[in-house]
Amino acid sequence: MSSSAASQPPAATPPDAAPPDGGRAHARADDASGPANDTTTVPTALCERSPRVPAEQLVAEMVPPPRFDAVRFGTYVPDPSQPSQTEAVELLRSFAAGLGGASATGEARGGLFRRRRRRAVAEGPRGVYLDGGYGVGKTHLLASLWHATPAPPERKAFGTFVELTHLVGALGFQQAVAALSGHRLLCIDEFELDDPGDTVLVSSLLGRLVEAGVALAATSNTLPGKLGEGRFAATDFMREIQGLSAHFRAARIDGQDFRHRGLPEAPAPHDDRTVVGTAHRTPGASLDAFPALLGHLATVHPSRYGAMCEGLSAVCLTGVTPVPDQSTALRLVVLADRLYDREVPVLASGEPFDRLFSEEMLNGGYRKKYFRAISRLTSLARDAGRLTGS
């Protein structure tokens, strides 16, 4: 599998390597501008976490992330001024209903009926593709589809493109095909269109799964260089998945970033003392110096950032500064995604999150990823207000 494409933040050292000592140089209470008198707990440090997930757990863990546990079609509130939102919900509802149950497909009766079902399903469109700008609810709807599909959790899978490529890397291609072929639905969030090697790999996997009768649903990022041309990526997606486009129907969702609809501006960064003090007062919080964390991210494979954030109640960061280069920036984007999925509030001192990425980055090919990361981190910073009482 490809691991060197630009959109996949490269690990600067082998993924299993222990973090360098410098990576452990996380913020401590006495680094702050004053003593944290109300210390009651010792925060953990992300810089000290380098998790490994056994291959067999990977398929079982392909479920919607915690933020999307409770979302359903019914909790999606379409914007009345954006008819495409209601249309997308209707399309997905009927797609889910069409995935039927065992009795509808005859698959419980096995053999002949199952083969017939597979032949039948391979003919019509077996995939939906959700297209839209950031924060319009693509993941909400993708997860709702997963929840609404009438199959037990072990017969439907939900994961990001990065997680899926990691699965193939861990199991091998044939094993991955075997592990997913019995599924009724595979949802792929954030399909990476800017990664030629992995796109071919995943397209091949999807081709095998479509043949086996697995329904597909996807959202994607946007190709570098195409971003100035609009927020929609369906054409790029259809081209990149090559022979599979006939299996997909695109649903375009117009609208505003829901995360910031009618909400106040992002909170200003806090001072070091507040961040360190809060980290010590908040059970389950982590505390890191931002530059050390950026260094640590280079030593952990991005597919493990989710495991790295597991169980944290808050992430506290001191000394946020603009990121120095694109590889670092892309790693930070993945971390922001995993924190957002897990609804981990982020409390920070230093520069505000909208200064993380340089003008050049914000005008470049990964523009959409960077704006999405700012949108997500801003939302998590707002959530952190309750920790400080602000």
Ligand X SMILES: Nc1ncnc2c1ncn2[C@@H]1O[C@H](COP(=O)(O)OP(=O)(O)OP(=O)(O)O)[C@@H](O)[C@H]1O
Q: Which residues bind ligand X (CB under 6 A)?
A: 67, 71, 75-78, 132, 134-140, 258-259, 372
Q: Are 370 and 357 in contact (CB under 8 A)?
A: yes
Site string for Mg ion, 119-158 (x = CB under 5 A): -------------------xx-------------------
For residues 246 and 231, give the distance between their C-alpha atoms in angstroms, rounded to a whole number: 22
Residue showing the smallest CB distance to ligand X in the complex: 137
Q: Tokens 């993708």 appear where?
A: 142
Amino acid symbol at 347: L
**Nearest residue (CB) to ligand X, 134 versus 237:** 134
Q: What is the smallest separation between the CB atom of 311 and ligand X, expressed in angstroms?
A: 21
**Nearest residue (CB) to ligand X, 289 versus 336:** 336
**Nearest residue (CB) to ligand X, 28 versus 67:** 67
Which of Mg ion, ligand X, none is residue 301 near (CB under 5 to 8 Å by kind)? Answer: none
Q: What is the smallest separation between the CB atom of 190 and ligand X, expressed in angstroms?
A: 7
Q: What is the smallest separation between the CB atom of 224 and ligand X, expressed in angstroms?
A: 16
Q: What is the smallest separation between the CB atom of 79 and Mg ion, expressed in angstroms?
A: 17
For residues 281 and 142, give the distance between their C-alpha atoms in angstroms, rounded to a whole number: 37
Q: Are 188 and 128 in contact (CB under 8 A)?
A: no
**Nearest residue (CB) to ligand X, 136 versus 300:** 136
For residues 125 and 114, give the distance between their C-alpha atoms in angstroms, rounded to a whole number: 18
Q: Are 294 and 326 in contact (CB under 8 A)?
A: no
Q: CA distances (Å), 303 to each of 22, 111, 193, in order?
A: 22, 38, 17
**Nearest residue (CB) to ligand X, 135 versus 295:** 135
Among candidate residues 221, 222, 241, 247, the one with its CA nearest the CA of residue 128: 247
Which of ligand X, Mg ion, none is residue 258 near (CB under 5 to 8 Å by kind)? Answer: ligand X
Distance of CA 345 to the CA centre of its chain: 16
For residues 70 and 66, give the distance between their C-alpha atoms in angstroms, rounded to a whole number: 8
Please, which residues bridge with residue 188 across strands? 159, 218
Q: What is the smallest separation between the CB atom of 329 and ligand X, expressed in angstroms?
A: 16
Q: What is the smallest separation between the CB atom of 270 and ligand X, expressed in angstroms?
A: 24
Residue showing the smallest CB distance to Mg ion in the complex: 139
Which of ligand X, Mg ion, none is residue 259 near (CB under 5 to 8 Å by kind)? Answer: ligand X
Site residues for Mg ion per CB under 5 A: 138-139
